[in-house]
Structure 1
Amino acid sequence: MDGRKSLQPVGDEGPITEAYVGWLRDHVRQLLLLDAQFGGNEASGQAVRLLRSAVRRIGVDSCPQPLWRDLMRVVGELAEVAGWLLYDADQQDASRRLSLEALHYLRLAGDRELELLTLQNLSMQAEYLGRSGEALQICEAVLDGPLPGRVRGLFLGRRAHALAKRGQHSEAARTLVEARAVVEDDGPTWAYWVDERQFAWFEGMLGMERGDFDQAAEVFAGALASTPAHRVRGAFSRSVYLLDCLVRAGDLREAERLVPDVAARVGEVGSRRTVALLRGAVRDAGFDGGGYLAELVRETGP
Structure 2
Amino acid sequence: MTDRELLDIGAALTPSADEPVTSGDVQALRTIAAHAVALDGRRGGAGLLPSVTSAFRAASARLATGDHPAGLEADFTAAVAELGEVAGWLAFDSLQHGEARCLNLRALRLARLAGDARMEMFLLGNMALLAQETGRARESLRLVELVERFRLSPRVRVMASLRRSRALADLGDERALALLHQAQSQVDESVIRADPEWTWWVDRRELVLHEGSAWRAVGRLDKAVDRYAAALEGVPEAYRWSAWVGGSWLVGALVEARSWSEAETAANELAPLAREVSSGRATQRLREASATAKALRAPSSLEDLLTALASG
- TM-score w.r.t. length of structure 1: 0.92
Offset from partner CA, 1:204-263 (integer Å, 9 cap, x none) = 112101211111111111110121122111110111111111111221101101222322
In the alignment, which of 258, 261, 278 is matched to residue 250 of structure 1?
258
**Alpha-carbon offset, residue 293 of structure 1:** 3.8
Change in CA separation of 1:99 and 1:71 when aligned onto 2, cut-off 3 Å = same
Aligned residue pair count: 298
Q: Does structure 1 retain, via aligned residues, the 8 Å contact 2:104–2:123?
A: yes
2:191 — aligned with what? Answer: 185
d(CA) in 2 for partners of 1:285 and 1:260? 15
**Alpha-carbon offset, residue 51 of structure 1:** 0.8
1:204 — aligned with what? Answer: 212
In the alignment, which of 252, 275, 291 is matched to residue 304 of structure 2?
291
What does residue range 17-32 of structure 1 map to in structure 2 within 5 Å?
Answer: 17-32=22-37
Of the structure 1 ranges 262-271 and 151-160, higher mean CA displacement relative to structure 2 is found in: 262-271
Determine whether 1:263 maps to 2:263.
Answer: no
Q: Does structure 1 retain, via aligned residues, the 8 Å contact 2:3–2:51?
A: no
In the alignment, which of 84, 94, 101 is matched to residue 99 of structure 2?
94
Change in CA separation of 1:296 and 1:5 when aligned onto 2, cut-off 3 Å = closer
Change in CA separation of 1:254 and 1:292 when aligned onto 2, cut-off 3 Å = closer
Q: Does structure 2 retain, via aligned residues, the 8 Å contact 1:204–1:216?
A: yes
**Alpha-carbon offset, residue 180 of structure 1:** 2.8
Q: Does structure 1 retain, via aligned residues, the 8 Å contact 2:148–2:157?
A: yes
Change in CA separation of 1:216 and 1:75 when aligned onto 2, cut-off 3 Å = same
d(CA) in 2 for partners of 1:196 and 1:114? 22
In the alignment, which of 125, 145, 151 is matched to residue 156 of structure 2?
151
d(CA) in 2 for partners of 1:288 and 1:55? 52
Structure 2 portions without partners, runs of 5+: none
Of the structure 1 ranges 264-273 and 157-166, higher mean CA displacement relative to structure 2 is found in: 264-273
Calculate percent identity across the aligned residue pairs.
Answer: 32
Of the structure 1 ranges 56-65 and 40-49, higher mean CA displacement relative to structure 2 is found in: 56-65
Change in CA separation of 1:220 and 1:94 when aligned onto 2, cut-off 3 Å = same
Determine whether 1:139 maps to 2:144.
Answer: yes
Of the structure 1 ranges 57-66 and 129-138, higher mean CA displacement relative to structure 2 is found in: 57-66
Q: Does structure 2 retain, via aligned residues, the 8 Å contact 1:157–1:199?
A: yes
- Secondary structure of the residue that 1:135 maps to in structure 2? helix
1:225 — aligned with what? Answer: 233
d(CA) in 1 for partners of 2:211 and 2:39? 27
Structure 1 portions without partners, runs of 5+: none
